[in-house]
Amino acid sequence: MLALLVVISLALLTQYFGESSSSPLHAIQRGFATVLSPLQSGASTVLSPVRDVAGTISTMFTDRSKLATLQRKYDALLKDYATAQYEGIQYRKAQRLLGLDTTYALNSYGPVAADVIDEDPVLWYVTIKVDKGRSAGVRLRDPVVGPGGLIGDVTDVTSDASIVSLITSPKFSVGATVENNSGASGLIQPEVGNPSTLTLINLPTNSNVAYGNLVVTSGFVDPHDPTIESFAPPGIPIGTVSSTSPQNSLLTNQQVQVTPLADLQHLSLVQILTRPRHGR
């Protein structure tokens, strides 16, 4: 049947192209064109909305596919950006710690870098947990510094982790000196009811302490018994004087408020001074 149709088609085509324009086949072709042309035009008009809808659907699926691809690229870029931001923050903190080492000669105290691995979001001012312990040379009462200055000391230590009590925890205290002309010394303690502020107590009456004075560790050693000494070596920055009480108030209370230099609420990288007394 297929072969027969092919032969008939070839024969008609040969005769069609071989005849003049007035031949019967040309007349039949013109008749069919005259009859079917309106039908073709009408069908085209009727089917045009269908074609438009089909085109819209096709474009929609194409756009959706492009949107999904763009979303995946955006998510990947967002992840890379977040990683870069975090690494940038860590780098700046490490640079601040390095600057602390250089400025205050902390390298002689055997600093060991440690990451903060746990903290209480509510009682953030009490303790943190870090990922270095006895295996890294950490011992009880080793001082701990962070970007800015002293942040606390080790109060519990295991083989691979340590608990650090912060300078704002209720039981913390350390000898401190005001870096001014008088070099007044006292004791730093957390201020009751205000975890973001410290109090420097037991100051001499002629301290001449002023707003903004730097407060550092005193490195106290009892002259009568050298075994009694501060856990922290001298000269580590703690904070700045933030109270503006008049001198007569200082004469009465012998204390001033101190704002810590370290951001204790956002610690992620710290250093433990494993040789705070030069090997003693």
For residue 114, the model assigns a pLDDT of 92
Query: pTM here?
Result: 0.64
Lowest mean per-residue pLDDT among 60-64, 98-102, 172-176, 196-200? 98-102
Lookup: tokens for 60: 């929609």
CATH code that applies to domain 111-273: 2.40.10.340
Tell which residue, 245, 232, 242, has the closest CA to residue 277. Answer: 232
Q: What is the mean pLDDT of residues 167-196?
A: 89
pLDDT level of residue 174 (50, 70, 90 thresholds): very high
Which of the two residues, 181 and 97, has the higher pLDDT score?
181
